[in-house]
Chains A and B, each alone.
Chain A
Amino acid sequence: MLQVFAKTLPFAALLGAAVYLFTLTLHFDFPRAPDRLGPDVWPQAILVLLILTCAAGICRTLLADRRAKSGPGEGSTARAGEAGAAEPEVPSRYGLVAGGVLLFLAYPVALEHLGFLAATFGLMMLFMLIGQWRNIPGVIAVSAIGTLALFYIFRGVVYVSLPLGRGLFHDWTVWIASLLGMR
């Protein structure tokens, strides 16, 4: 039952979102002309298709579940055999994913306040630690050298305007840039 719920969940969530978005298209603000298609037609067509497809996805999952309950057929036996012969599955570690997502979310904020050097050094270091690399001197060295190399390449060579940060971090980033021969 839980498996069926997990499989129908994305379709149900998308179906709900599609219905909500469709209601929004009814209120698009534009000068309506009687014989002209407006900017609402295209998204409405997409959303109707999305609603129908999601409904089909839910029906498919429920039907597959009913078929499975009514008894495994030859096909499912064969698939079970194949699955058994496959290599052992590596267990999922959602804690690592959550840690990674939090880091990604924190990076834009850190970038604005701490500047490219400090934010990138922190992100790289923490990401490698989350990624199970336990060689601490290696992590620090790769983060430091990597950050400086990326800073030099993108600011000094490719001329991307990387954020400098605020206050002390700004001064520090500018100082490092001048040490690397960049203005």
Chain B
Amino acid sequence: MVDILLHLGQGFLTVFQPVNLLVLVIGLMLGLLVAVLPGLTLVMGVVLVLPFTYKLGITPAVILLTAMYVTGTYGGAFTAILFRIPGEPIDVPLLWDGYEMAKNGEPAKALGWTLFAALAGGLVAAVVMVALSEPVARFALTLSAPEYFSLVLFGLASVVCLGGGSQINAFVSLLIGLLIATVGVDGTYGADRFSFGFDTLRDGIEYLGVMVGAYGLGEVLSRLEKGFTSPTVQQIGRIETKLPSGAEIAQVKGTFARSSLLGIVVGIVPGAGATIASFLSYGVEAQYGRRRKEMGSGIAEGIVAPQAAATASVGGAMIPLLTMGIPGSGATAIILAAFLLQGIQPGAQVFVNQPGLIYAIFAAVFASLVGMVLIGYFAIKALVKVLDLKEAPVSAFVVMFCFIGALAQRNNLSDLWTIVAFGLLGYLFDKFEFPIAPMVLGAILGPLAESYFLTAMISTENNWTVFFTRPMSLALIALSVATVVFPLVRGWRERRA
């Protein structure tokens, strides 16, 4: 415990070095900006900033992205509550009670509840993240290929089932992602897989190209189809934040505890992120909360539940990323990319070899939460002004950041074709209601899944039962099956009823 606190103290010293602090503040501002602007999602924002990290060291690079990730779960609350414009899908549940509270004449109170929920949920998750990461990393060292394969399988099953919408469409999306990951010359046998004679494809398709194309260009095309008709703010009146009193907070402690815990758990599950945490937490509160019948009428529980869970999911999602190199959400997938671009594979070994880096990231999460509150409290009015920006020029810059990001990775013009192709695919996915997240996660986890699967099979001389005879692996496979089967059974029962 003392060791952890000492390391954390050193982490804070690293974060408070001038360059890192500057990068942190920039990350906070950018995170709030992308969260406020309806045309930019959090994941897209983090993707667009990635090229700036190429020349930074690993520590400032990850601090920048982490700060964006933390504040990105909070910034959209302003516009959702004040103007009924959710900057992010995460903020949709805030429309139901946050906007209602504002309509009932208490916008400052609604913003205060959001601020409290984001800070408190984020801090609880950050403490859990610090406390659990080292033991999880030590435990991860004892796992072998079958367990890792089952863990990745569980992540893939989760992303299919937790995202909402059609499971068949989500599964198709995931399989396409896994297939994309197989393109190129195979590392073990040197077999040419699906490259069709193109040199670019022989090198494989970088998942960054998939992400930048599908999330960036695809989203821009989807919005272009609607003629860039974002809702506009008519006028910005008096905007302030009024924090809840101690007695008021005590009344929602149950909601707060449930939501924070749910946010952490959802964050840890690979494939699920802040949006799922936010919706799930609101749903749980609406079903089991003390004032469940009043949900949707502008009560504090309806604000605390989604916001606390969304911000708490950040700390949760960092645990599998840092301890096992498995991203828990879209944003952590990009943080993983930042690690890999700097030649570092996150995982248990990093805790042994570079504890300074890990604890600097932990400290950055705490510092981001505090910075988020300060900027959120004092700069709301300036932030919501960005909604006055025209969508066409903002999107033009988004497009440029996508192209430059793709180009900067390998200085190869053919990478631009990759992102255009995936931009078009992302647009078609959106059009035909196929979710993008499973494809992206499939492209990221595909090589890991294949590698763990083949390693397990080679080391056991093709004994398939190895996945079922090892307790941890069996438990994870059972969880994966339950994750897939449970929603199917529930849907079938609902149809029968």
Contacts and interface: CB of A to CB of B under 8 A. Distances in A.
B351 interface: no
A93 B172 CA distance: 27
B483 interface: no
B392 A127 contact: yes
Interface in B26-84: 51-52, 54-55
A146 B224 CA distance: 20
Size range of the chain A interface in the assembly: 35 or more
A50 B391 CA distance: 37
B168 A56 contact: yes
Interface string B142-181: 0000000000000000000000000011011001101100
Q: Is the interface of A mostly helix, strand, loop or mixed?
A: helix
B400 A146 contact: yes
Given A37-B462, A92-B226, A100-B224, A124 B413 contact: no
Contact of A37 (B228, B390, B408, B454): B454
B351 to A, nearest CB: 30
Nearest to A87: B231
Given A161-B411, A163-B413, A38 B400 contact: no
B492 interface: no
Contacts of B403: 107, 111
A131 interface: yes
Interface in A15-51: 21, 24-25, 28-31, 35-43, 46-47, 49-50
Contact of B227 (A111, A123, A132, A163): A132
A136 interface: no
B227 A53 contact: no
A14 B420 CA distance: 20
Interface stretch (B101-109, B190-198, B239-247): B190-198
B191 A39 contact: yes
Given A39-B191, A57-B169, A128-B396, A92 B423 contact: no
A85 interface: no
Size range of the chain B interface in the assembly: 35 or more
Contacts of B339: none
B413 A39 contact: no
A133 interface: yes
B172 to A, nearest CB: 5
Contacts of B225: 92-94, 96-97
B194 to A, nearest CB: 7
A10 B407 contact: no
Given A104-B423, A120-B400, A50 B51 contact: no
A53 B392 contact: no
A94 to B, nearest CB: 7
Contacts, number: 167
Nearest to B171: A53
A175 interface: no
Contacts of A117: none
A166 interface: no
Given A42-B182, A43-B194, A150-B400, A158 B54 contact: yes
A130 B224 contact: yes
A160 B408 contact: yes
A123 B400 contact: yes
Given A46-B178, A127-B396, A133-B393, A104 B172 contact: no
Contacts of B454: 37, 41-42
A50 B179 CA distance: 9
A164 interface: no
Nearest to A126: B396
Nearest to B168: A57
Interface in A33-85: 35-43, 46-47, 49-50, 53-54, 56-57, 60
Contact of B191 (A30, A131, A146, A158): A30
Contacts of B427: 97
A57 B227 CA distance: 31
A71 to B, nearest CB: 15
Nearest to B188: A39
Interface string B218-253: 001100111111000000000000000000000000
A127 B395 contact: yes
Q: What 5 A-B pairs are tightest by C-beta distance, nearest first?
A: A131-B392, A133-B392, A39-B186, A30-B191, A30-B189
17 contacts: A10-B428, A28-B192, A28-B193, A30-B186, A37-B462, A38-B191, A57-B172, A97-B225, A100-B221, A104-B423, A107-B416, A108-B413, A108-B416, A128-B396, A158-B54, A160-B411, A162-B407
